Amino acid sequence: MITLHDIEYKLLLAFYEFDLLKNEIVTYLTLSLDDLVNRTGLNIDQVRRGIEWLRYKGLVNVKEDERKIVTLGEAGRRAVIDGLPEERLCNALKSLRSPLGVKELKGVVNLDEDEFNAAIKHAKEKGLVAIHNGKLIRVIDYEREKDNEYALLKRVHDSELLYKDSLNDKELEVLSHSMKRPRYIIEKSIKQVSVSLTEQGMELVKQIQSGARIRSIDVTAPAPIIYAGRRHILQEVIDEVREVLIGMGFQEIDGDIVQYSFWNFDVLFTPQDHPAREMQDTFYLDATKEDIHKVVSSELIADVSKVHERSWMYRWSINEANRLVLRTHTTTVTIRYLAEHKPKEANVFSIGRVFRNEKVSYKHLAEFHQIEGIVVSDDVSIRDLMGIQQEFYRRLGLDKVRFWPTYFPYTEPSLQSMVYHDRLSRWVELFGMGIFRPEVTEPIGLKSRVLAWGGGLERIAMLKYGLDDVRELYANRLSMLRGMPLCQ
């Protein structure tokens, strides 16, 4: 059933003439926008809007024609008010006692150069003046009532809107004569909109006239899509991972982005000549901080240096350990937590940004988010770590998991977790994991066993949302963000 707004209702009732005696519609009208304004009492904006609604519903036809209108130029308006140049010329001649030559007359008549030349030409054509012995003489008096050209100019002047096609042939002939004068008549093209009812519109008007009720509101009409504010899809993944780990009994910890190389590398048994510590892989800061001796105990520094020198067989440098870096992993947060608290049992995790001096590509970023978790206990093994990882992935909706042996400087044994992605039809690497080596735990005074794992959260987000390029997560394309389903 067609529904109508009040504006549409008023417009439809304007398109016909009704005979009260016969009690029937006599004729359907074709109306302009101005006609509709006058017949409905609506303003022009309401009429335009209502016509578009009716056209969309197939109730009216809208036709646009280009028509020419006639208006007066500046010289034309002066001709109507002060008289045509030939009239002013004749009035000047009438006031003279004796005829003057054309050159002498030019200084007497109040006409500019163009008007004076036009006045002579048209006055001669109309038989008002003649030239005798080089002098201009008046033949007959000028009468406005008999001048068709003046009458036409007056009509144009007095009309608000005069269409050229409303003039007859004789008037058009006079008009063409006037257009040769300087700026008397100006033609302009304007668009004329005419609106009429379609057959469907006529039938609807008959129903309305017969008393049928048309609903003004359609509660079943589709509403416009409103995109409410939402969290970024990567933040949704971070929040989901946080919720999963808290649900598994873990506690969140946090730490600084800027760290000493001591915490980022040395405590984790990464040798000072390891390639990962070079400028090509790490962002070092050209800044100074408190000397590491003021914030780290001398015993811990000595124990870490002994482990390095004994195991890697090189001279350990405090200056290298004192350099500031943007942390390359969140393990720096967990190792500081262990060194400062020395817990006998703990289940903690950290989530935060890390930085690698990587070439940005479809699978690598220079800045990304990492999840890091540890379990501290005397009664845990590598099988417990594998079970924790399987449960973690299962809660994220990733059921197919397997593990491969690998190498990390600070864990032994070390494993790489893999999950199967159905859309990609292949196994995808996710988190690294293992048990902290004694070279890591003994210098910080920790006797319990430590299970550790960690990895990038962007890769999990790519798997959940079916992305092939990690850069899409930071492109901030609204079309992509609006189309992504919320994490379940």
Does residue 191 lie within any of the structural domains?
no
242 shares a domain with 164: no
Of residues 292, 303, 269, the one with CA closest to residue 444: 303
What SS3 class is residue 321? helix
Which residues, given as ranges, of the chain have pLDDT below 50?
488
DSSP 222: P
Of residues 69, 47, 54, 32, the one with CA closest to residue 193: 32
> In the prediction, which pLDDT does 488 show?
45
75 shares a domain with 7: no
Does residue 190 lie within any of the structural domains?
no
CA distances from 2 to 25, 53, 54, 216, 222 (A): 21, 12, 10, 9, 14
> In the prediction, which pLDDT does 216 show?
61
CA distances from 361 to 289, 365, 429, 456 (A): 33, 7, 17, 15
The type of residue at 404 is W
355 shares a domain with 262: yes
267 shares a domain with 211: no
213 shares a domain with 360: no
101 shares a domain with 8: no
423 shares a domain with 282: yes
The type of residue at 25 is I
**What are the strands of the beta sheet with 100-101, ordered from one edge?**
100-101, 135-138, 129-132
| Full-model pTM | 0.54
Residue span of the structural domain in which 216 resides: 1-59+198-223
80 shares a domain with 19: no
Q: Are strands 426-436 and 449-456 parallel, antiparallel or unpaired?
A: antiparallel
DSSP 402: E
Does residue 228 lie within any of the structural domains?
no
> In the prediction, which pLDDT does 353 show?
94
Number of domains in the chain: 3
147 shares a domain with 242: no
281 shares a domain with 406: yes
269 shares a domain with 364: yes
What SS3 class is residue 220? coil
